Amino acid sequence: MSFQAYLDTIEDRTGLTPRQFIALAEERGFQEPDVRAGTILAWLKEEYGLGRGHGMALVHVIKKGPKIDPKHVGSGGSHSDASETLWLDGKAARP
């Protein structure tokens, strides 16, 4: 599953876009450098029922933003994405 597909599936399951999750995480101070992934994963599991794989996709955008490593772009593998920049504003708003 591509990185973007993880984010799209999260939106399908929760009704929240990645950008909305970022805002919720910021309200909790989770974007701070000292906040560990485990803290965010626990919140996502408890409040939204998300497992580790989907949770780690959100951890990435919360802590590092929408850019991904270019090695995953167009690689043809199971985790291949179309762009270095993930779409965070929801599937319906994607150009």
pLDDT tens digits, residue range 58-77?
999 999 999 988 877 887 77
On whether residue 11 sits in a domain, the answer given is yes
On whether residue 90 sits in a domain, the answer given is no
On whether residue 66 sits in a domain, the answer given is yes
On whether residue 23 sits in a domain, the answer given is yes
Model confidence at 32, pLDDT cuts 50, 70, 90, reads very high
Residue 35 is predicted with a pLDDT of 97
On whether residue 54 sits in a domain, the answer given is yes
Number of domains in the chain: 1
Residue 82 is predicted with a pLDDT of 87
Model confidence pLDDT, tens digit, residues 82-91: 888 999 999 9
Helix axes 52-64, 18-27, angle to 10 degrees: 70
Q: Which residues contact 72 (CB under 8 A, 6 or more apart)?
A: 2, 3, 79, 80, 81
Tell me which residue range forms the domain holding 18.
3-83
On whether residue 94 sits in a domain, the answer given is no
